[in-house]
Structure 1
């Protein structure tokens, strides 16, 4: 199969969209498929043996590390030359919209992947009154696709309410060997918390849309060492607000695995997460989770079993949830083990085989109907869809 992946974000920029696209490309290579990546530049020439075609991009004002790909005619030219069997649209907005229009023009089926709540993102950055226009544009883009894949039941409900057609579930996998309690390092813990404090940590982008300023409610919880992993435009302000916290910067590889496993409690603050891979990685690392009762974490965190959920805007509930876990080591151990058991079977191989099933289904439907663009029904939210469904 020849798969063209049109993505709004790719290496060297690291975020949820990039990470999931990389896992898909690696899986395509393992299964013997050929891919072309169309992404904002600058970037690598290839990844996992697949060619990368970069298009011009511009940094967003106030967030230059986020590069928006320009929807030029080069997208259609690249797709026409590659002759894909299917087009994968990763979090389509601008570049992805060009990919969706080009796929429709060329008669190639496309699968759009919902990964970012753009309307929520805009609200967090002060763009009030834009919701209606944003949702209208995104609905237009996704209507061009043969199927839209959503990562959580909350996202499914949200898109259904906004009139998005042909929705199906496709969750995210986790590397349960890379993220494992066995990476816990007592020497590292002793270095980070020399007085034996309970380590409470956040891992992710330090940005306004992640609402990281809510971490300030944990600044003076007794017996806690607050550890923050990541970088972003809100970092300097957060350092000022939390002078006693440990800022470890951007981590990857073994250093990230150890950082997760060394935590006693994982905290997430973002309320607009379509899935929240960081929560799943913390659970795989055997760490109990405190997260907002909103979006993706609703599917991931089982209250009173793998962690706690708090009202998204309540700093008091966030603080109380963390304080409860800080005071009870046995509870942390039980919930951490339960979290690990809940996600360790969700391998990337399983969920990406399910993605291949979605590709094949939209391709078969196009053949059956003579290449015409037709409505293609997706499975019900939570329903089985292919061999990877049980693991998703």
Structure 2
């Protein structure tokens, strides 16, 4: 199979879309499929390769971690004519994604898309809710001509179905259990970061308003005093809200900044509980990674996260906007060591069944079905 991927974010970007597409291309390499990726140029991936074709880009003024690209449509069209893809996969709805959409129509190439980000939810955190209606109008238009829209969770499936999107298919995420597993030396993390407290609570992810970072700041100062004295918070990540957390952190909080996956995994495995208050996830890869490390999760009963955490079995779900639910969840799990051990064992067993290989094979099967359907339509036209 020959696949052309159009995306407005790709490695080395640090976000769920870029990481997922990076894993996908690695899998395509190992399974002898051919692909090209049209993505933004960055300082860390300046040069094109036989598979990656970076386009000129500049930071988005309101959100500098995102980039606006200026795709060279004529060059990309010639690239497609030379590569002759069986299918085009558009992963994002911005300038490069729009270029992929237009060229798929113009060159009559089967077209699929994937829906990764709850942009509507993001608008709420940036006080731009007035843009919700035009945003959905654009998203509906953008996806209407796609033969398949891949979504990461049943929650997102239902969300788009209510908006009258068609041809939706769930494409779940997986976890690399060779990296994320419980068998790390927990004392090394404690020694490296001078952690003396009995319990380690961790958060991994972007430090940004849409991740509900405000809840973490609240928890730093509002856990019961006796319990709080026994807790060390490890906040792993970077982003526009890092300064806000620095200003609100207490003596028992470490903010590490960005760490690689191989550095994150031992942290997760050494944690007694993973706290993830984000209500805007379409899936929540890091939640699955925490479970694979044997760490139960207190997470938001919202978005894709609620489809990963099994209440009372691998963690606890907290109601949207209810910060005290997290206090109750943290206290309940930490103060019951027998139950916590059972949660840890359940988490590992669940995560080990979520293999990336299976998820990518489901995606490739979806590709093939679309290609076959298009061929039948063309044959009978």
- Shared fold, TM over 0.5: yes
Secondary structure of 1:182's counterpart equals coil
Structure (1/2) with the larger helix percentage: 2
CA distance in 1, matches of 2:366, 2:81: 22
Matches within 5 A, 1:11-30: 11-30=11-30
Counterparts of 1:82-97 in structure 2, within 5 Å, are 82-97=83-98
* Contact 1:289–1:306 under 8 Å retained in 2: yes
Instruction: Report SS of the residue matched to 1:291.
Output: strand
Partner of 1:265: 273
Query: Structure 1 residue 329: deviation in Å?
Result: 2.2
- Structure 1 position 256 matched with structure 2 position 264: yes
Counterpart in 1 of 2:151? 150
Match of 1:217 in 2: 218
Unaligned residue ranges in structure 1 (runs of 5+) = 374-392
**Cα deviation, residue 190, structure 1:** 4.1
What is the distance in 1 between the residues matched to 2:145 and 2:184? 44
RMSD of aligned residue pairs (Cα, Å): 1.9
Moved more, 37-46 or 330-339: 37-46
CA distance in 2, matches of 1:249, 1:99: 35
Alpha-carbon shift at residue 219 of structure 1 (Å)? 1.0
Deviation at 1:14, TM superposition (A): 1.4
Shift, 1:50, TM fit = 5.2
Find the counterpart in structure 2 of residue 67 from structure 1.
67
Q: How many residues align?
A: 372
Per the TM alignment, residue 73 of structure 1 is displaced from its structure 2 partner at its CA by 2.2
After superposition, the Cα gap between the structure-2 partners of 1:186 and 1:36, relative to the gap in structure 1 and judged at 3 Å, is same
Could you tell me how far apart the structure 1 residues matched to 2:134 and 2:188 are?
A: 52
Determine the structure 1 residue equivalent to 2:254: 246
In the alignment, which residue of structure 2 is the partner of 1:175?
A: 176
How far 1:91 moved relative to its partner? 3.0
- The farther-off stretch of 248-257 and 134-143 is 248-257
Instruction: Identify the residue that residue 286 of structure 2 maps to in structure 1.
Output: 278
2:313 aligns with: 305
CA deviation after TM superposition for structure 1 residue 197, in Å: 2.7
Match of 1:131 in 2: 132
Cα deviations across residues 159-204 of structure 1 (Å, max 9, x unaligned)? 0011111001110111012100002421322443633331111000
* Native 8 Å contact 1:92 1:112 kept in 2: no
TM-score, structure 1 as length reference: 0.90
Post-superposition, which runs of at least 4 consecutive aligned residues in structure 1 deviate over 6 A?
none
Q: Deviations over 1:81-104 (max 9, x none)?
A: 322111111133332122112112
Q: CA deviation at 1:46?
A: 7.6
Match among 363, 375, 381 for residue 367 of structure 1: 375
- Quick check: 1:305–1:335 contact (8 Å CA) kept in 2? yes
3-state secondary structure, aligned to 1:130? helix
Structure 2 distance, partners of 1:32, 1:191, is: 42
Secondary structure class of the residue paired with 1:175? coil
1:343-358 pair list within 5 angstroms: 343-358=351-366
- The 1-side partners of 2:47 and 2:29 are apart by 12
Higher mean alpha-carbon deviation, 276-285 vs 254-263, is at: 254-263
Query: Which residue of 1 is the match for residue 322 of structure 2?
Result: 314
SS at match of 1:302: coil
Residues 319-338 of structure 1 mapped to structure 2, 5 A cutoff? 319-338=327-346
- Counterpart in 2 of 1:236? 243
Structure 1 residues 87-126: aligned runs within 5 Å: 87-126=88-127
Q: Does 1:34 align with 2:34?
A: yes
Alpha carbons of structure 1 residues 50 and 172: separation in structure 2 relative to 1, 3 Å: farther
How many Å apart are 1:231 and its aligned residue? 0.5
Residues 36 and 52, structure 2, Cα contact 8 Å, conserved in 1: yes
